[in-house]
Every structure is written in structure tokens, then in C-alpha cells.
């Protein structure tokens, strides 16, 4: 009898250990789901890496099978991958799809832009746009604050006047910005100026802030939600002709994945209301200024908002 009781106690203890181990593996949220692996992608720069990692960590914690393909590539790479089913989910910006995919004119009102891209993508590509975030990662032109004060440049119109009067300007630009219709050529046309070819310094988009800070350029393109703008004492030049469209990020997902996991829409829609401009700037700053890894920043964000343990 005593031997039986001891054996039974050991069995119970082992069962408890196994349950606790499984709970720990799933972050205590849910059991592992069976089904199609959700392939999460992102573009290869800081904000996209952080937002993509939020998807990866959040889905894993909720028990979904996930393949991490963050950093896959820019729009010309990631879009065909989504349409062909090589990836299933990533954060896209309304302005990017509106201008570069649809060939529409810019829209500066968030809901209008979102409604247009949502309707178009569902009809043309069977891709669903979930709720968009309030952050607006629009393109910007920037200068060192001290240099802008010295030259009395507050807006892009001021910059255009300076360039047109033979001002010596070196412009640091990401390669993608040089090729997009909502990039450099569009800005130059809208504001009536043109940089000399030898004055343009092409580089990876994530390096333009550093080039500006280090004095390798006078003006650089950037993104409004970049954490280095304040940290490097940079000034965003006012887009006084409202050239740049809105770029609100939203989850875009293949309809086939939502058909298999219909509850996923409600789950993912918990994220966007938490991502306003100030929040996204701080997330980006943790990576670009403080040196944290995107996946660690993503986990902390989810824990701070009570979405994972």
C-alpha cells in the first residue's frame, strides 16, 4: 500500500511538472494550435523589423505556428511574395500601396487612404487590410538643427529656394526613395527645384540620419517616426505643400489565412490602437539609439501592454 502511494505521488508530481513546462512554452496564454504555419515578413529597416517582431512574438504566445521572415525585402520583393503565398502577413503602409501599387494620387487623410487601399487589395489580390495604426511614418526631409537655423531653412520651400539660388547642398538618400514616385523626383517636381546628380549621396535608408549627424550631408530623407530625429538634434522640414501622403501602417494578411484562423482578425486588431506616433518613435529609438534588438523591444512592448506574459 505504501509503495502504491509513493508511486502515485511521483506520477502526480511528474504530471504537474509537465503541465507547468507546457504552460511556460506557450507563455501561459494558450496551447499550441495545429494548422498552416503563418509566415510573417517585414521590410529590412528598424520600424518594420520591430513591428514584424511584434507579430512573431504575439502569434507565438497565442499558440500559432509561425515562421519568422522579418527583414525579407522592400516593397518590390515583399509584395510579390505575399501575392504568391510565400509570406502571409506583414505591416504595410497605406501611402505605399496607394501610390506605388495602385498608381493613385497622394491622399493626406488617413481614413480615406485606408478605405481605398483596403477595397483595392481585397478585390485585386484577395489580401485583407486589418485596422490601421495612428502612427504616420511619412517621408520627411531633414537637416541638422544648427545648420537649418544658420541657413534659415524651415520648410521644403525654403530648401528649394536655397538650392535654386546656387546653394551648396549634399543630399543623403535611401535607394528606394530615389526610385519611388512619392520620393525625390516627386518632391523636386512639386517644389520646383532639382539637386545636381553629383550632390546626391545614395545609401541604405537606415544610414541617412547618421550621415546627416556626422556632417557628410546637409539634407537627408528620413521617416517621421524615426527615434534618431530627436536624439541627433535633427529638424524635419515642413512639407508646406503637403506633398507626402499619409503612411499609416496596418496588418495585411492573405484571406486564406483568415479563412483557416477566423479568430485571428480580432487578435491582431488589438495591436494597432496601441501604436501612435509617440509609441512608435520610442520603439524605434530603443533599437537605433539604445542598441536593443528588435525582438526584445517587441517582447517588452507586448508585455507592457498585457498581451503576453
Residues sharing a CB contact under 8 Å with residue 148, sequence separation 6 or more, in sequence order:
154, 235, 237
User: Which neighbouring-strand residues pair with 235?
Assistant: 143
Burial environment of residue 203 by CB neighbours within 10 A (0 to 12, 13 to 18, 19 or more): middle
Strands 171-174 and 219-223: parallel
More confident residue, 182 or 169: 169
pLDDT in tens, 2-39: 333 433 443 444 333 333 333 333 344 456 888 999 99
What size, in residues, is the chain?
Answer: 309
Q: What is the pLDDT of residue 9?
A: 40
Q: In this structure, are residues 173 and 200 in contact, taking their beta carbons and an 8 Å threshold?
A: yes
- pLDDT for residue 214 is more than 90: yes
- 168 pLDDT band, cuts 50/70/90, is confident
Can you read off the three cell numbers belonging to residue 95?
A: 501611402
Q: How far out from the chain centre does Cα 205 lie?
A: 13
Query: What DSSP character marks residue 238?
Result: B
Quick one: pLDDT at residue 25?
A: 38
User: CA-to-CA distance for 156 and 241, rounded, in angstroms?
Assistant: 8
Spell 118-127 as b/e; 16+ CB within 10 A means b: bebbeeebeb
In the chain, what is the greatest distance between 2 CA atoms, to the nearest angstrom? 100
By CB atoms closer than 10 A (0-12, 13-18, 19+), residue 150 is exposed
pLDDT single digits (tens) 117-148: 999 999 999 999 999 999 999 999 999 999 99
With CA atoms as reference, report the closest residue to 48 among 200, 176, 235, 214: 176
Q: Which residues contact 164 (CB under 8 A, 6 or more apart)?
A: 192, 193
Amino acid at each position: 500500500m505504501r509503495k502504491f502511494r509513493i508511486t502515485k505521488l511521483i506520477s502526480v508530481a511528474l504530471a504537474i511538472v509537465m503541465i507547468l513546462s507546457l504552460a511556460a512554452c506557450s507563455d501561459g496564454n494558450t496551447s499550441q494550435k495545429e494548422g498552416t504555419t503563418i509566415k510573417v515578413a517585414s521590410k529590412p529597416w528598424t520600424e518594420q523589423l520591430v513591428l514584424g517582431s511584434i507579430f512573431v512574438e504575439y502569434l507565438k504566445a497565442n499558440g500559432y505556428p509561425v515562421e519568422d521572415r522579418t527583414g525579407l525585402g522592400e516593397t518590390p520583393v515583399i509584395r510579390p511574395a505575399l501575392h504568391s503565398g510565400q509570406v502571409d502577413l506583414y505591416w504595410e503602409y497605406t501611402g505605399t500601396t496607394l501610390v506605388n501599387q495602385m498608381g493613385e494620387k497622394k491622399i493626406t487623410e488617413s481614413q480615406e487612404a485606408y478605405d481605398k487601399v483596403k477595397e483595392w487589395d481585397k478585390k485585386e489580390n484577395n489580401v485583407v487590410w486589418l485596422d490601421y495604426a495612428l502612427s504616420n511614418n511619412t517621408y520627411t526631409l531633414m537637416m541638422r538643427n544648427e545648420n537649418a537655423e544658420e541657413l534659415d531653412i524651415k520648410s521644403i520651400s525654403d530648401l528649394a529656394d536655397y538650392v535654386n539660388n546656387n546653394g551648396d547642398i549634399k543630399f543623403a538618400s535611401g535607394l528606394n526613395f530615389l526610385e519611388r514616385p512619392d520620393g525625390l523626383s516627386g518632391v523636386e517636381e512639386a517644389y520646383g527645384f532639382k539637386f545636381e546628380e553629383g550632390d546626391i549621396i545614395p545609401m541604405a535608408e537606415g544610414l541617412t540620419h547618421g550621415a546627416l549627424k556626422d556632417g557628410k550631408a546637409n539634407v537627408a530623407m528620413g521617416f517621421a517616426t524615426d527615434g534618431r530625429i530627436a536624439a541627433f538634434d535633427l529638424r524635419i522640414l515642413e512639407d508646406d505643400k503637403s506633398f507626402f501622403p499619409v503612411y499609416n501602417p496596418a496588418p495585411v494578411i492573405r484571406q486564406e489565412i483568415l479563412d483557416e484562423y477566423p479568430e485571428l482578425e480580432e487578435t491582431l486588431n488589438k495591436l494597432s490602437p496601441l501604436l501612435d506616433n509617440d509609441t512608435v518613435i520610442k520603439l524605434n529609438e530603443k533599437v537605433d539609439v539604445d542598441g536593443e534588438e528588435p525582438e526584445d523591444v517587441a517582447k517588452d512592448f507586448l508585455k507592457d501592454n498585457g498581451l503576453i506574459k
